[in-house]
Amino acid sequence: MDIDGLFARALGAASASYSPYSHFRVGAAILCADDSIVTGANVENRSFGLTTCAERNALVSAVGQGKHKFSMIAIATPDSDYPVSPCGACRQALSEFMGAETPVVFGHSLKDIVVTTIGQLFPYDALHELAK
C-alpha cells in the first residue's frame, strides 16, 4: 500500500465520524505488518473529555484483532484548511506500538499532506525504556 492509497482510506474513514459538536471529521488508517488495513473515525461525546480520536479508535480496533505490528498510519482531517497533526494523547498511544521510524501521513486532502515519522512527532520518547 502506498501513501496515497492509505491516505485515501483515512479520508474514507472520516465519513464515519460522529462529530455533531465540533463538525470536525477525522479518519485514520493503519497499515498493519501483515498488509491489512484497519480504519477508525473520531467519536465525540457531549462531555468532550470522553471523545475518542480516530487514531486511537483505529489502534484499539487493530489491537483488538490481535495486531501489534504496524508499518504506517495516515490521518485525514477533511474539514480543516491545513494538515492537522495527531494530538498528544494519540502520539503517546501510537508510540506504544510504532517505532520511531514508522511513517505518519496527515493532511486535509491528498494535495496537501505531511509525511513524517513517529520519532519526529514524539521526540525523546523515554517510555520505551520501561519495556526493557
| Cα distance between residue 68 and residue 88, in whole Å | 21
- Please identify which of the residues 55, 96, 101, 129 carries the catalytic annotation: 55
55 flagged as catalytic: yes
SS (H, E, C) the chain: CCHHHHHHHHHHHHCCCECCCCCCCCEEEEEECCCCEEEEECECCCCHHHCECHHHHHHHHHHHCCCCCEEEEEEECCCCCCCCCCCHHHHHHHHHHCCCCCEEEEEEECCEEEEEEHHHHCCCCHHHHHHC
Known catalytic residues are: 55
